[in-house]
Structures are given as structure tokens and as C-alpha cells.
Amino acid sequence: MKSINVGLLGIGTVGGGTYTVLTRNHDEIARRSGRDIRITRVADRNLELARQVTQGKADVTDDAFAVVSDPAIDVVVELIGGYTIARELVLQAIANGKHVVTANKALIALHGKEIFAAARAKGVIVAFEAAVAGGIPIIKALREGLSANRIEWIAGIINGTTNFILSEMREKGLTFADVLKEAQRLGYAEADPTFDVEGIDAAHKLAILSAIGFGTHPQFDKAYTEGITRLDAVDIKYAEELGYRIKLLGITKRSEAGVELRVHPTLIPEKRLIANVNGAMNAVVVKGDAVGPTLYYGAGAGAEPTASAVVADLVDVARMMDAAVDQRVPYLAFQDEQLQDLPVLPISDISSAYYLRLRAMDKPGVLAEVTRILGDRDISIDAMIQKEPEEGEDQADIIILTHVTVEKNMDSAIAAIEALPAIAGKITKLRMEELGR
Amino acid sequence: MKSINVGLLGIGTVGGGTYTVLTRNHDEIARRSGRDIRITRVADRNLELARQVTQGKADVTDDAFAVVSDPAIDVVVELIGGYTIARELVLQAIANGKHVVTANKALIALHGKEIFAAARAKGVIVAFEAAVAGGIPIIKALREGLSANRIEWIAGIINGTTNFILSEMREKGLTFADVLKEAQRLGYAEADPTFDVEGIDAAHKLAILSAIGFGTHPQFDKAYTEGITRLDAVDIKYAEELGYRIKLLGITKRSEAGVELRVHPTLIPEKRLIANVNGAMNAVVVKGDAVGPTLYYGAGAGAEPTASAVVADLVDVARMMDAAVDQRVPYLAFQDEQLQDLPVLPISDISSAYYLRLRAMDKPGVLAEVTRILGDRDISIDAMIQKEPEEGEDQADIIILTHVTVEKNMDSAIAAIEALPAIAGKITKLRMEELGR
């Protein structure tokens, strides 16, 4: 049986999981792949940890550059994260003619173009299934499983931390701040949670999905990103009363004008499967013109789920490393020369339905004025609730769900409504997606 | 750009969809695959239909054997169905050195071993993504996306007709017979619905999933099959009261003793995503030891969803037809020489939790006797409801949910309970699956 020597960079959570899965399932994987795939060298700053995990069965070093230039290594698995040293290591590995497997979404989202160009020049594979939605084989589904389709849109819960927080907020009626503390205590959120809760991690993954879906280079820098830190528990409650759940979605759509690329809290009809994805789980809905909507669900993070994707990539690399380049699936699903620079629409130009929460004086004529302002802009109302004022108050919440309109049109209506004397304070605006046919 | 000439056998629903999708998305598919994939010959008994669909852009014949022996054809797409002529055509195509794409689950489930052996001998590809769950790329997910895992079990809603019927029965409180009539009127069920409603179609697909998950030949002939024709609406209602939905599941599990391979109505906790898959949609849950449970959802039938899978296979074939055999993914996920003949357990030896509905005299001591019989066999009770007798009756329904036990143990308990003088008639037994971790 043909041997494949793997060099592993980073033996932390995912690296440790990768080592464990590849060792535990070595025989089952060999039965599938017909290859003897082994991690023969491991680089980690924590030598003791590396020795403990590998138990003398792999060569251990703290010099990652020694691994990427080791002539005995066929494939480098990069699980260090970040995009400074990781980028250098990956480019160096490619320059040395090694195939690369990585779980590094930031690296692909920010430096994908450079990395794929280098890999193409050397004729090596760069695989990154683990970079999006952990153990869910969504890259494979999109690149290969749906290759017959013109992809219309992709929408996903692709950050487990924020989905955990939103699920807890809904189930327990707690505020963002309270649940964040709990999530940090349980290890679901980092001490500095910015990357997750501000939607940056989700935008990295979305940029990759969008590129693969539509045949562009990753355009993370043009993504619109709005996190869940300012989400009010009352909006979760009102959304539920109206039959919706609020999820932090990464959404990318293709239209005549360009590509929408946006991460933000989103109302979804509760009857949709993805609205019922709770806790730290991930799910991605892909709409193809032939297949319709399909959904992929599973663990989006964690040692072994992510390792599942890393090792699946290793199996693919082992199978295809000696194949001709045009027999391999292209890095971003489309032939390299076919990648287009589709324009990413600014958020003001996207189309969406909206949820508005406004606080109004409880007196006649207010609703008439609000609906006139919306009507003047051709924004039609899908549903509305006017709450009773609380005991002793003369203001009440009004919730409006609109049909689809262009965001700048909505913003103009909101400015006009906020200027009404009977309206108190700012209007809360959330976007809403049907995610149906 | 390299040209691939495809011969299409059968231009009915799926064949027509395949022609349409491949034509409509020809350029997008070429951008992905780097190949010019075209259906150049079509065989169908209905020449007029074939001419109408192809509009002079493909050669049309009513002689399918002429297509499989045409030296200009690279790949044969078999969409005729059945397993007599389809088998002959596929074997003939293989003998002529053609690659084959098929949506024919019965053919693969019954004659997979013979077909793959023939294909192996000729070094050609046989691809069958469309044979299971229509447009959902479940074969690819299982063969490639989860290749790092030891697969523990697979459970799926893999027949849209029965899922539509069960969804309608639950939502509208109707009987099987009434919904079947409605489904036939809407075209969701055939005039002779036996294949669907008795679980045979699901068992074909399950046999394929099981083979790929565990590395065996398809063992359809050993599958246990129980349809939904005898399912009583009252059990759907009681299940719902207890927090469960009833779905026709195909379930396959691997244990020390062998493989479970069974299709039957199954209670699933309503909090599981798959319990919320309604209408004619399909979904498959795959549990891998590393990744945990993952779910794949989409349209399981219909012209274009099925065509999506057929054409994705064509793209794969186009990419890999000139590659070395060991660079291709093995037919059944495992290297041919690694396929094992794992024994399929008889239904009496499977392990499951159970739902029992019994009709008992409303008098003291009955429950005590029932629980003693279960206790004597180490069957523990998870939940129980005793209904009030209806006005003027002296018998009432008792619903019992048990923990997991071996089926023959359950059957022995049921026989003993049915022999109690206070129990009227037969006990209704349904299986129940947690489908969690």
C-alpha cells in the first residue's frame, strides 16, 4: 500500500483531534483510500504536548519551517491559525512542492488568491474543507455535489458561538451580556469574543462559500458584517410571536447587479429547518436552480468534528496527488481562468424584507403616518403588531414586517418615520429572509 | 476544451430534467468542469417526446442498445428504471468500455455486486448519486466527505411519497387511506403505490447507503421492510402528545453482531431536525465517530433535483475518466477487495426503544401486571400515559414508551401482555429512535 507522509503544524485542539482521528481510524481510512496515511512529523511550540499526543510515534519539533521543507513530507496540514506565520508556512510548503490541507478560514478568506496562484504554479493541491462549518462537508457539496447547478444563494449558521448565545437568549429570555458570560464560562466563547460576536469569523467563512458558489476570488474585505452584540432580547420575543427565529446568518446571493455578501442577525420563518438549528451547531442552506434548497447540518467546531474534515481532505489529497491537474477539482470550484471579479453590492443596495420595531405615542393617526411613509416608498407591509402601552405609560411598541425592498429605500423610510413627533427614539431594524424556493 | 459525448437512455421525467439542466447550465458547468459535456444521443421508445425535448440538437433513436454500442459515446446515462432491460443495457455499456451514470436504485441495490464487478474488470466508472435521495449529494458526503469516520449509523427519510402522506396525516388528522387518495390525485403517489408505501423503494436506497457506510455489497434481499399502510392516525396523535413525530425511516447500524438494515415507521423526538422534515422532502442523518451526527436535506425526487445529481455525476466522470483507477473513489467507498460480507441481523435481533399502545379494562391492577411482565424481561419504561375511557366504555388506551431492548424480548413481553384477560385485542408496537449522540 502506498504511504503518504503528513507533516502536522499545530497540535492544539484541532491538531490533537486530527492526530487522534487519523490514528484511531487508520485501518478504516486505509480500507477506503487504499493508502497508508500517517502523520510522521509534528511541529508545535509546546513540545511536551506534542510528545504527549504522539507518544513517540511521530517526530516532534518546535520548528514548523523544518517540517515544510522536509523532503520526506508529502502533505502539510496547517492548523496553527492566524494569517501571518500561517501564510508564510503555507506559501513555503507550496514552494517546496507540498500539498496543503488547512482549517484556516481567515487565511483563505484574506490570502486565498495569492495562495491558490502559488499552488497553481507548483501544481499542488490546497484543500480547506475544515475552514467552513467544521465537520459538515459543505465545500465538497458545493464544489462537486451541486456542480450541475447555477447557485442562486447560500445562507448559513456558520458560527457556533453566536448560535449558542442566540439559542440561550431565546430559550431562557436572557440578555446578550448574561449569556455571553455563561458561554465564556462553558468554553463556547473566547475571553475576547469579538471575532465571533461581531460576525467576523462568519464573514471569513461566508467569503469562501460565496467564492465557491459564484466563481470569484474570496472577497472578505467587501463583506458587510453586523454582529449580535446590540441585539435586544425583546426583538427575539417579538419575532417569535410573529412566527420567526433570529439567527446570525451569513448570506450571499447573486443578482444581475452583483453579489450580496453580508453577515447579520436575521429573522427566519420558524417552519424552516435552519430556524430550528440550536446550540453550537452549524447549518448551511444552498439554493441551486436545479436542485432547489438543500441543507447541510452538523458540528461546526470542536476537535474531532473539525478533524473529520481535515482527514477527509487528506484522503482526497492522497487519492489525487499524482493525478493530472485537470483531473482535480479546482480550488474554488471553477476553473482558475474562469474566476470572475463580480462586484460586491454595498449594504445600501441589497434587497431584503425587514422587521422594524418603533416606539410610538399611543394616539390616533400615528400608524396612518407610518404606513403613508412606507407606502410613499412602495414598501408594502406584511404584518404589524401594535402592543398595548405598559401600565402608566403613554408609548407602545409597534412591530412592522415589510416585504422585500432595497435597503437604502428602507433607510430613507426609517429616517422619515423617526422624524415624526409621535415617534420616540431610534427604530430597530432587522433583516428578514424567507429562505424558501 | 475537451468534449464528452453522453448517450441518454430514457427521456421521461428525470431524463427530460437531465437534458434540460445540462443544456441550460452548459456554460456554468463548463466553467466548473473545464469540459464540454453534451448529450449527443438519446434513446426512448417515445420518439416524438425525445425529438420534442432535444429539438434537433441530439440524435434520437428508439434503440437503446444502439446507443450503448455507439463508439462515439463516452458515458451512458441510464434513466429507464427497472432491473431487467436496464441491467442488460448497463452491463452492455460497461462491456463496451463506457462509463455509466444511473439513477436506478433498484438496479444498484439488487445487481450492484455484478455491475461493479463488470465495471472493475473494464476499468470504467459507475456513478449513482441520483439513486438515493434525489438531489441531495448524500453518496458523495458519505463516500468522500465523511471518509475520516467510522460510520456508526445512518437514518433517513428517503421516500418522499410516504413522508408526504405522514405529514398530511399528522397535520390534518386524516387516515392513511384518505391521504393516499389525495397524494395520488396530486401526483405524489403512483396508481399502484406498493413500492413506496410498503417501504420497498426506501429499502433499495437504504441497502446502498448501508453498503457505502460499512463497506459491504448491497444487501437489499436481507432488509426488513415495514410500510405505513397499517399505521393508525391515533398513534401519530399519541406520539405527538409525548413529543414525538412518526416518520418512515430507513435505518442501518453497525454493531459487533452485524448490521441492522430496516425500514419502518419510527418515532423520533420532535426536537430532532429530521423530525421536522415535512412534505415530500428527504433528509438523511449520518453518525460518524469523529464528526458526530450530520444531516443532509433536500428534494428527494422530481425532474430537476434528480437531474442535479445525475449531472454532478457526469461532471465527476468527465473529470476522472482518464485518471488511474486508484485515483477514483471506489464504487462503494471502500476499496473493492476490502468489501466485507457483514451479516445482516434478523429483525428479532435488532435493538430499539418501543412505543406500545394497548387497550385495557379500566380496573385496578392491570398496569401492575403489565409493568411486571416488562420488568421480568428487563425492559424499563421511559414514559406512560393512561387515557380516560370514552363515555360509556370500560376500556381505555395505555401508551408505553420503553427504553432500548432486543426486539425478540419485546415481542415476548407483548405476547405475555396480550394473554392477560384485562387486555383487549392486539398491541400496537412501533419502534423509536433517539437519533442523538
A234 within a domain of the structure (yes/no): yes
Same domain, B97 and B142: no
**Residues B199 and B324 placed together within one structural domain of the fold:** no
pLDDT at B238 over 90: yes
The CATH number linked to B68 is: 3.40.50.720
Residue B388 has pLDDT above 90, yes or no: no
The predicted model gives B223-229 an average pLDDT of 98
Structural domain contains residue B344: no
Q: How are beta strands A395-402 and A423-432 bridged, if at all?
A: unpaired
End-to-end CA distance of chain B: 48
* Same-domain status, B250 and B180: yes
Range of the domain at B98: 2-136+303-338
Q: How far apart are CA B105 and CA B132, in angstroms?
A: 7
**Residue among B215, B294, B324 whose CB faces A31 most closely:** B215
Model pLDDT for residues B83-120, shown as the tens digit of each residue? 999 999 999 999 999 999 999 999 999 999 999 999 99
Nearest-angstrom CA–CA distance, A78 and A93: 10
Alpha carbons A38 and A125: distance in angstroms, whole number: 18
Kindly give the confidence (pLDDT) of every residue in chain A, 437 residues in length, as a single tens digit, with 9 standing for 90 and above: 999 999 999 999 999 999 999 999 999 999 999 999 999 999 999 999 999 999 999 999 999 999 999 999 999 999 999 999 999 999 999 999 999 999 999 999 999 999 999 999 999 999 999 999 999 999 999 999 999 999 999 999 999 999 999 999 999 999 999 999 999 998 889 999 999 999 999 999 999 999 999 999 999 999 999 999 999 999 999 999 999 999 999 999 999 899 999 999 999 999 999 999 999 999 999 999 999 999 999 999 999 999 999 999 999 999 999 999 999 999 999 999 999 989 999 999 999 999 999 999 988 889 999 999 999 999 999 999 998 888 888 899 999 999 999 999 999 999 999 999 999 999 999 999 999 86
What chain A residue is nearest to B300 in terms of C-alpha separation? A291
Distances (CA, A) of B384 to A422, B242, B422, B433: 56, 9, 18, 17
Contact list in B for residue A327 (CB cut-off 8 A) is 319-320, 322-323, 327
Q: How far B398 CA sits from the closest chain A CA (Å)?
A: 32
Partner residue opposite A147 with nearest CB, options B29, B289, B294: B29
Looking at residue A436, its pLDDT comes to: 86
Cβ pair B290, A283 in contact under 8 A: no
- As a whole number, the mean pLDDT across chain B is 97
A284 in the same domain as A142: yes
From the number of C-beta atoms within 10 Å of its C-beta (0-12, 13-18, 19+), residue B391 rates as exposed
Q: Are A208 and A289 members of one domain?
A: yes
Contacts of A24 by beta carbon, 8 Å cutoff, 6+ apart:
B289
Instruction: Round to whole Å and give the CA distance between A280 and A265.
Output: 16
Interface of A with B in 362-381 (CB under 8 A): none
Name the domain count of chain B: 3
Q: What is the mean pLDDT of residues B158-164?
A: 97
Does residue B152 carry a pLDDT above 80?
Answer: yes
Asked if A223 and A333 sit in the same domain, the reply is no
Cα–Cα distance for residue pair B275/B254, rounded to 1 Å: 22
Q: Are residues B109 and B235 in the same domain?
A: no
pLDDT of residue B242: 96
Residue A111 corresponds to which amino acid? H
Handedness of CA A66, A70, A73, A78 (dihedral sign): positive
Q: Measured between beta carbons, which residues in chain A are less than 8 angstroms from residue B291?
A: 135, 298-299, 304-305, 308-309
Grid coordinates representing A364 are 390616533
Q: Is residue B287 part of a domain?
A: yes
Q: Does the CB of B293 have a partner CB in chain A at under 8 Å?
A: yes
Please say whether the beta carbons of A78 and A90 come within 8 A. Answer: yes
Shared-domain flag, residues B245 and B381: no
Which residues on neighbouring strands pair with residue B38, listed in sequence order? B5
d(CA A333, CA A154): 15
Q: Do A305 and B289 touch (CB under 8 A)?
A: no
Residue A323's closest CA among B74, B37, B326?
B326
By CB atoms closer than 10 A (0-12, 13-18, 19+), residue A24 is: middle
- B14 vs B76: CA distance, rounded Å: 14
Looking at residue B341, its pLDDT comes to 85
B268 touches A at CB < 8 Å: no
Residue B24 makes CB contacts below 8 A (sequence gap 6+) with A289
Residue B41 identity (one-letter amino acid) = R
CA distance A160 to chain B (A): 15
CB A268 within 8 A of CB A245: yes
Q: Do B295 and B156 belong to one domain?
A: yes
Is A172 contained in some domain? yes
What is the ipTM score, two decimals? 0.97
Is residue A150 within 8 A of residue A289, CB to CB? The reply is yes
CATH code at A264? Answer: 3.30.360.10
Per residue in A52-99, pLDDT tens? 999 999 999 999 999 999 999 999 999 999 999 999 999 999 999 999
Q: Chain A contact for B27, CB < 8 A?
A: no
Contacts of B322 in chain A (CB under 8 A): 324, 327
Partners of residue A47 on adjacent β-strands: none
Question: Which among A307, A322, A329 is the nearest to B290, CB-wise?
Answer: A307
> Which residues, in sequence order, are CB contacts of A317 under 8 Å at separation 6+?
A4, A75, A99, A101, A125, A127
Assess whether pLDDT exceeds 90 at residue B71. Answer: yes
Is residue B343 a part of any domain in this protein? Answer: no
Contacts of A146 in chain B (CB under 8 A): 137, 308, 312
Q: With an 8 Å Cβ cutoff, are A310 and B148 in contact?
A: yes
Is A427 part of a structural domain of the chain? yes
Q: What is the spatial distance between Cα A65 and Cα A62, in angstroms, rounded to a whole number?
A: 9
> Are B223 and B262 spatial neighbours (Cβ–Cβ below 8 Å)?
yes
Evaluate whether residue A115 is within a structural domain: yes
Q: Which residues, 6 or more positions from B1, have their beta carbon under 8 angstroms from its beta carbon?
A: B30, B34, B35, B36
CA distance A302 to chain B (A): 9
Closest to A49 (Cα-Cα) out of A19, A21, A16: A16
Q: Are A203 and A214 found together in one domain?
A: yes
A89: its cell numbers: 508556512
Q: Are residues A15 and A46 in the same domain?
A: yes
As a residue count, chain B comes to 437
Answer yes or no: do B113 and B11 share one domain: yes
Of A148, A277, A327, the CB nearest to B307: A148
Q: Does A437 touch chain B (CB under 8 A)?
A: no
Supply the CATH number for residue A424's domain: 3.30.70.260
What is the band of B188 on the pLDDT scale with cuts at 50, 70, 90? confident
Q: Is the residue at A345 inside a domain?
A: no
Q: Is residue A294 less than 8 Å (CB to CB) from chain B?
A: yes
Stretch (H or E) spanning B212: helix B200-214
Element (H, E) at A48: helix A47-54
The pLDDT score that the predictor gives to residue B391 is 87
Whether A130 contacts chain B with CB within 8 A: no
Q: Tell me, what's the pLDDT at A133?
A: 97
A325 close to B (CB below 8 A): no
